[in-house]
Structure 1
Amino acid sequence: MTNLSKSKLYETGKTLIKNEKSKSFIKQIANINNQFINLNIVNVMVEDNIYLNIVDNTIKQSYIQKLSSKKKQLQIRIVLQGQLEKLDQNENKKIVYKENEISVEYKHNIEESLLNKKGQHIKYICITLNENYLNENGYFSDFFKKNFSKKFYEPDLKNRFEELLNREYTNGLDKIYLKNKTMEIILYVINRIQRIEKLELSGLDEEDIKRVKKAKILLEDRFNEKLTIPILSKEVALNQSKLKTGFKKLFNTTIHEYLKNIRLQKAVEYLKSNRYTVKEVSIMVGYTNQGSFSYAFSNKYNCSPKDIQKNSLL
């Protein structure tokens, strides 16, 4: 692999699409197309010492990009497509960031290299909180007392962040939108870490957490089946008590409520298509009784299933 500095990598083939600067906000949108990369990137300072990068990169030729910093920073990376690889020189180990994975790293004295391999198409979001911001907001220093690294899998991240990734960023509302989205992600990630740590303290290890997440995926994939807690427990090889406790703490809802919400969301999709009767839809989403389906639907959406069908015809 060719070793490249950031400046050398970006010095050829750069087209600056948009550049906006103020005292506390910077937005730069660019395309860089050269022998190594075809990169579309949005670089933003949403406020002092908080940076957002939205990256869509097709790698034409393998290269290594060195990264270093003596200052401490908190970095959140959300991989929407592909896989990122990094070599940590301090610990002499390779770190892999996989698709549909959120990573959180708090460290200083950074000596790293990104390992970019030919043919990869990577899409990711990266948020960096610099040392000054961390020092000014004591909560972060209290929460992250030493070098910290944690990763967690979240299914369907691409759809969740589709607008953030594909928005054109050409109007005056971008500043508000980008700042709000960045802070929303930071808050979500911190809360998520706290929930995971509570799970670990309550006796669930990393393998248990993976099994709880597998149960969630099963509910999403097989929402129309009769998936009881005993069945789920057997499917993911985790006892019922740990499964129920872990699911509630990890996703802030019960298994029953989560399954019901998935079924009703799918029901809306089927009803809007106007291809099925209400009875057919109720069976398709896993209800054996149409009356129970209509009652649950009305409680959630404050209208009947037939109302959805009528409105979709207008």
Structure 2
Amino acid sequence: MLVKGKIVELDEWLFIEEIPDHYVPDKPLVENRLIIKRDPVHMKNFQLSTSGLFVLYTQMSFDQPVHIHTEIEGEAITSQFIFYKATDSKKPYGMSRHNIRYIPSVKTTHEVKEGVEYSYFIAVISKEYYLNLIKRDSLLHKHFVDEIEKGLYASFSEEDLMATYEMQHTISELVESKKTGEIRRLHTESRVVELLMYQFEQYNDRTQQSAPLFNDDDVTRLELARQILEQRLANPPTQKELATEVLMSESKLRKDFKEYFSVTIHDYLTRLRMEKARSYLIDDKMSVYEVALLTGFGHQNNFSSAFKKYYGISPGELKF
């Protein structure tokens, strides 16, 4: 496979990767990171590649509309996720979404808007690699394999599906992993399989439902609720206050949040706090007291107890 991508307005390739089609389990991973700050582009790229697999995760925003051009040569299965957040508004922009596609070869150009923070993840998987991850006769993807055998462009789901918090969390685990060598490769492969399982599961659940769970207004309010929780970790609203802000009843918010994000409000907030706390301790070298305040715990002891319950070690042990 040959995978290429560029921003048309910059007129230079962001990456050109020649990926062997064969599935070679002991082939090492190659990792690359790239930061671009050239008007009108603000972009951070993370790439992993090995025989049969290319992974790209990019966080990007633009000061004016630009066009992103991508090319894939050769048979590939792609697992794609796009997450949106408005840069200058309290309201979320659009619905985060995902799909799985079979691509015999493709060249595409898409316009992306200014004023939006995009997080985009794609795993480009050779046909041989994919069928080693998910066996050909698995009922999980029978209809998709039937389309693959025809050799024509196909999507696993006719419409893109909503990307959940669990999917976003798995992507973060893959991208932020500090593992190396063979363990890193095994970890990457397991996270790719996990993402595919989430996608299969959501598709199968959806096909059993006669009507969509959420309308556009529901999605907007739920995404806004998530955004409020992320932005106010130090002093998060109660569930009642959150429901009032997003114009939903408290019971509907709790129920819909769980169904939409596959996690309760309480558990989502706990994960946000613990992941941010870990980053503060390891990356920013903050004291336990500082981290407790920044993550919304009134007392250091309460934070330490919650941290140990979540990670199995105390924050002090993590620092050393």
Q: Could you tell me the TM-score, scaled by structure 2's length?
A: 0.54
What residue is the counterpart of 1:77 in the other structure?
Answer: 80
Q: Give CA-to-partner distance per residue, 1:276-310, whole Å, 9 cap, x none.
A: 63xx654443234666555544544556xxx533x
Kindly indicate whether the alpha-carbon contact (under 8 Å) linking 2:80 and 2:99 is maintained by their aligned counterparts in 1: yes
In 2: Cα distance, 1:7 partner to 1:295 partner: 47
Residues 116 and 297 of structure 1, relative CA distance in 2, 3 Å threshold: closer
In 2: Cα distance, 1:271 partner to 1:55 partner: 27
Deviation at 1:80, TM superposition (A): 8.6
- Structure 2 unaligned regions, length at least 5: 6-12, 33-46, 59-66, 85-92, 112-118, 147-155
In 1: Cα distance, 2:182 partner to 2:302 partner: 48
In 2: Cα distance, 1:65 partner to 1:274 partner: 41
Deviation at 1:20, TM superposition (A): 9.3
Q: Give CA-to-partner distance per residue, 1:99-134, whole Å, 9 cap, x none.
A: 9955214579x89641278xxxx9752345859878
SS in 1 for 2:49: strand
Residues 106 and 19 of structure 1, relative CA distance in 2, 3 Å threshold: closer
SS in 2 for 1:149: coil
Q: Does 1:251 align with 2:264?
A: no
Q: Does 1:162 align with 2:185?
A: no
Kindly indicate whether the alpha-carbon contact (under 8 Å) linking 1:76 and 1:103 is maintained by their aligned counterparts in 2: yes
Residues 308 and 41 of structure 1, relative CA distance in 2, 3 Å threshold: closer
In 2: Cα distance, 1:18 partner to 1:112 partner: 16
Instruction: Count residues in correspondence.
Output: 263
Kindly indicate whether the alpha-carbon contact (under 8 Å) linking 2:71 and 2:107 is maintained by their aligned counterparts in 1: yes
Q: Which of 86, 98, 103 is residue 103 of structure 1 equivalent to?
A: 98
SS in 2 for 1:76: strand
Residues 19 and 287 of structure 1, relative CA distance in 2, 3 Å threshold: closer
Q: Does 1:114 align with 2:116?
A: no
Residues 222 and 160 of structure 1, relative CA distance in 2, 3 Å threshold: same
Deviation at 1:180, TM superposition (A): 2.6
Kindly indicate whether the alpha-carbon contact (under 8 Å) linking 1:195 and 1:250 is maintained by their aligned counterparts in 2: no
In 1: Cα distance, 2:194 partner to 2:279 partner: 27
Q: Which of 303, 308, 313 is residue 315 of structure 2 equivalent to?
A: 308
Amino acid of the residue matched to residue 114 of structure 1? T
Amino acid of the residue matched to residue 255 of structure 2? T
Q: 5 Å matches for 1:7-46?
A: 42=49, 44-45=51-52
Kindly indicate whether the alpha-carbon contact (under 8 Å) linking 2:225 and 2:242 is maintained by their aligned counterparts in 1: yes
Residues 113 and 296 of structure 1, relative CA distance in 2, 3 Å threshold: closer
Amino acid of the residue matched to residue 137 of structure 2? E
In 2: Cα distance, 1:24 partner to 1:284 partner: 43
Amino acid of the residue matched to residue 315 of structure 2? I
What residue is the counterpart of 1:218 in the other structure?
Answer: 228
In 1: Cα distance, 2:240 partner to 2:144 partner: 37
Amino acid of the residue matched to residue 55 of structure 2? I
Kindly indicate whether the alpha-carbon contact (under 8 Å) linking 2:79 and 2:98 is maintained by their aligned counterparts in 1: yes
Residues 54 and 291 of structure 1, relative CA distance in 2, 3 Å threshold: closer
Residues 123 and 42 of structure 1, relative CA distance in 2, 3 Å threshold: farther
Kindly indicate whether the alpha-carbon contact (under 8 Å) linking 1:42 and 1:53 is maintained by their aligned counterparts in 2: yes
What residue is the counterpart of 2:162 in the other structure?
Answer: 152
Kindly indicate whether the alpha-carbon contact (under 8 Å) linking 2:96 and 2:163 is maintained by their aligned counterparts in 1: yes
Amino acid of the residue matched to residue 125 of structure 1? I
Q: Give CA-to-partner distance per residue, 1:239-280, whole Å, 9 cap, x none.
A: 323311121123333212322343344445556745463xx6
Residues 103 and 116 of structure 1, relative CA distance in 2, 3 Å threshold: same
What residue is the counterpart of 1:87 in the other structure?
Answer: none
Kindly indicate whether the alpha-carbon contact (under 8 Å) linking 1:103 and 1:149 is maintained by their aligned counterparts in 2: no
SS in 2 for 1:227: coil
Greater CA deviation, 178-187 or 134-143?
Answer: 134-143
In 2: Cα distance, 1:227 partner to 1:220 partner: 11
What residue is the counterpart of 2:87 in the other structure?
Answer: none
What residue is the counterpart of 2:88 in the other structure?
Answer: none
Amino acid of the residue matched to residue 200 of structure 2? I
In 1: Cα distance, 2:245 partner to 2:19 partner: 51
Residues 19 and 267 of structure 1, relative CA distance in 2, 3 Å threshold: closer
Residues 134 and 214 of structure 1, relative CA distance in 2, 3 Å threshold: farther
Deviation at 1:192, TM superposition (A): 4.2
SS in 2 for 1:103: strand
Computed over aligned residues only, the root mean square deviation of the Cα atoms, in angstroms, reads: 5.8
What residue is the counterpart of 2:123 in the other structure?
Answer: 126
Amino acid of the residue matched to residue 77 of structure 1? Q
Matched residues, percent identical?
A: 17
